[in-house]
Chains A and B, each alone.
Chain A
Amino acid sequence: MIKYLADIFTVKIASLMSVFNTTVWVRCLLLLWVMVGSILAQASINTFEFETPAQRQQFLDTIAELRCPKCQNQSISDSDAMIAQDIKKKVYDMFQAGHSQADILEFMIERYGDFVTYRPPVRRNTWILWFGPPVLVLSILGLLFFRVVRKNRRTTLSSSTNMSVNEQDFENLLKRYEDQS
């Protein structure tokens, strides 16, 4: 409706401009009007209305937390699949009915499984998902630490026992350096 009115006005202004001499600022005004019109037209696509911006943000956060079961690499907020629209509507209805975000996520998991959230609950079968990466990083760090410690100990050991060899090496190097220069 708003877009329709905007179109009519745009046409009206355009016809007015053909009558009067078009100056630059009138053109600018026209451009501005068209831009405002397109923004209004976009706003009318969004059918969900909220009392407060916080509620709106909560809704947007929740649908971004949910994964679309049909189009598996998209979140519900990104997707326009039919099921994504239905889930959005259900999430909206549940918020309007006073449910919390946790309630809604639980409701969806009950129906679509852990798959439907990007943050699956910590449970026995998701342990590897949650604890796998930190355990891996820690064990690699531990292994590195162990190696470094061992190597340090070995080099100090070897430097104390094989001092003569090291001195020889050093002298050889010195000699080579002197030859070159």
Chain B
Amino acid sequence: MKWQPKLLMALPLIVFLMMSFFLFKGLGQDPQYMPSAKVGKPMPTFTKTSLHDSARTLTNQDLHGHPYLLNVWATWCPSCLVEHPALLQLAQSGVRLIGLNYKDNRQAARQYLKLKGDPFVETLFDPEGMLGLDLGVYGAPETFIVDAQGHIQHRFVGVITQEVWETELKPIYDILPRSSPGNTSIEPPS
């Protein structure tokens, strides 16, 4: 009984090398990363009230016409507080920010913006989190880049910092056409 030694003896080594390769590749990956199912798709249809005025309803039409950043935030979310100064800075530099107040209390959220400053040209109030669900949101903060036609171009999960903005988001936001022929009721801050 004589085995063919070469291939068989090399087998453990081959298996080891393959495992090392995949494990090493796994090291560099963010296990929390999930590809978004919504990138490239239109913004889901919604009818929400404005956070600041419960009598005012906002729909997709109100946001179309200019690209914007849709920022999902809440007062119960500590990371949102961390990212807030960066958002204020973005708003100051002329980026059009729309807030999506996610599963929150209207009074608390308004108080929060009054205290910390309001970077949003408009904030949608989504207490049930159903617009969040339609967007595939699973936590806060999350930020979507939406173009002037209302298509989602990018999704970012986590805290926006100046660095994240410069390296990941700005390059996408900047190449979007500034406006589309469609009319809009909410102008970008100038």
Contact = CB atoms under 8 A, between A and B. Distances in A.
Interface in B114-136: 128-130, 132-136
Nearest to B2: A151
A111 B35 contact: no
B133 A70 contact: no
Contact of A86 (B37, B133, B135): B133
What is the interface residue range for chain A against chain B?
Answer: 10 to 19
B21 interface: no
Interface in B3-41: 31-32, 34-38
Contact of B37 (A70, A83, A90, A111): A111
Contact of A113 (B31, B35, B133): B35
B139 interface: yes
B103 interface: yes
A111 B139 contact: no
Nearest to B135: A111
A87 interface: yes
Interface residues of B, number: 19
Interface in B59-113: 103
Contacts of A72: 31-32
Interface string A94-129: 000000000000000111111100000000000000
A86 B129 CA distance: 8
Describe B's contact surface by its main secondary structure: loop
Contacts of A83: 137-139
B133 A87 contact: yes
A170 to B, nearest CB: 15
Contacts of B134: 111
Contacts of A112: 34, 37, 136, 138
A111 B32 CA distance: 17
Contacts of A90: 130, 133
B103 A111 contact: no
Given A70-B138, A83-B138, A111 B133 contact: yes
Q: Which of B31, B37, B138 has the most CB of A within 10 A?
A: B138
A115 B132 CA distance: 17
Nearest to A111: B136
A78 to B, nearest CB: 15
Contacts of B103: 82, 86
19 contacts: A69-B34, A70-B139, A72-B31, A72-B32, A82-B103, A86-B128, A86-B129, A86-B132, A109-B37, A110-B37, A111-B37, A111-B133, A112-B37, A112-B138, A113-B34, A113-B35, A113-B36, A113-B37, A115-B35
